[in-house]
Structure 1
Amino acid sequence: MLSLLHHPNLVNLVGYCADGDQRLLVYEYMALGSLAEHLLDTTPEQLPLSWHIRMKIAHGTAKGLEYLHEKANPPVIYRDLKSPNILLDEEYNPKLSDFGLAKLGPVGGKTHISTRVMGTYGYCAPEYIRTGQLTVKTDVYSFGVFLLELITGRRAVDSSRPPSEQVLVNWVKPMLRDRKRYSELADPLLRGEYPERDLGQAVGVAAMCLQEEASVRPYMSDAVVALGFLAEVPAGYKYKSGPIPQMKQVEDPSSTSSSKQDKSAYDRQKAVAEAIEWGSLRQKQKAQSPEKKAYSQGIIPSRSL
């Protein structure tokens, strides 16, 4: 299947080897390994992933799923979205890997496909667990869990935590209903270094993806639009590759005016980007069904520009 799919956010299949009953798939080299190594399996010596890198990873992952769901023909349901399956190149660009559980989506007027082989516990949509019916909205739910991992720095399931906190979605649900509690969701390792409004939008996207009713979850194209602006990196930042993830601000101590100009330019770009994205979404909403319009409006709140 992977040999027929080509996208910047899918890992490239280079080739394969076969010797008797032994099979080996050869993928492109991903310099920084899996996201789990930088987000969940960190050591005290590691610098945590910055907010901007986390949103860049979320946006790229969403684009990979958008391609599978809405551009591949027939559509592909990935079915095993989780941090260990997201690989990173030297610039923290994410790529989906491990398509062992992927399934071709419903075609010919069918609404779903049926299977009892589940993905990873903690990421599976509730209707999939109950009925075994698989749709692209199953992946959307998994993406909501994945986005919560990026925001909180917690595992989808962590038996080392108190019982009420072991399943990430269950722990988060009460806070999703109260915007004033969103800051409690932020990974403590971020030390408050994130835009508060951007945190609110990221949590809002996750909440929409985690809707119990599959039909009101957004399409991945909507999530891509919503996360696109959050993935923009401010001027003066750079990525440093290597085993320890980090992103430091490049400052010239002898030129504070240059730093102020960079910030001013970034603020202007930010305002323009917001206006463009909001206008684009409004145009899409006019052409959408009432049902899809309802949840699309929930993803991106109106803003004063």
Structure 2
Amino acid sequence: MTKSKPLVRLTLALAGLAAAACLQPASPALAQSDEPGCRPDMAALRLPIQRANLAKDEVRLTFAGHATFLIETPGGVKVATDYNDYVRPQVTPDIATMNKAHSTHNSRNPDPAIKQVLPGWDPTGAGPAKHDVTMGDLRVRNVPTNIRSYSGSTDFDGNSIFVFEIGELCIAHLGHLHHPLEPGHLRALGRVDVVLFPVDGSYTLDQEGMLDVLKSLQARVMIPMHFFGGGTLNRFLARSQDLWPVERREQPVITVTKAGLPAKPTVIVLPGN
């Protein structure tokens, strides 16, 4: 069937907008390598979100794509993790956390309606970022880690693991983790019920190292992120299949409660990349 001229013009206009978004230059101070950035399949994950009220012990997580999750509390507080200019949830968060490693983990133009923007590094270079913010029924704090710099040397305190405490639940987002966790990191994190972790195995910590991190955390729910296509994810799942059960969900949304956590640590895969 031949497209009408108005439809053709609309299709071309949308394609042009998508291409322009992908061609935005990365900030030299923030983008550190050629990690895949804006891609059509990532942009396509900006799904419309319809919200229902949460019970007092429920927390909702929506995987927007790459390393960005929308976390919603029973009191209505919304957080976007690794908030950036490419992949964003469809609602404006109250709090946005960001990390330094690449432009797909931070924003040069955060929505001015966001109440708190928390960079996981100190932009002044004075030392580690220090955040401990309470908003409504949510507490957000960070545990600094290191990253590799442009030259391959260590950029100390360039990443943060952000910890979200909501009622009795503790959720940790590992960000762009580049190295194993040391005893000091584990003490600072405390008990973790849900962990959101990268599995690409190259830009972040290698997959075997990530398995060791997960073993040390012993979170009941482990949700992979930061994978570039199903092949990378499946390689990680092949490595982990003898350690933990895997549940694949059809929707990018999961609601968790402390009482409803699996009896044993479980990998839960949400669709995305």
> So what's the TM-score if we normalise by structure 1?
0.26
Q: Which protein is richer in helix relative to its size?
A: 1
Larger radius of gyration: 1
Q: TM-score, normalised by structure 2?
A: 0.29
Q: Which has the higher strand share?
A: 2
Tell which has more relative contact order, 1 or 2 (C-alpha 8 A, sep 6+): 1
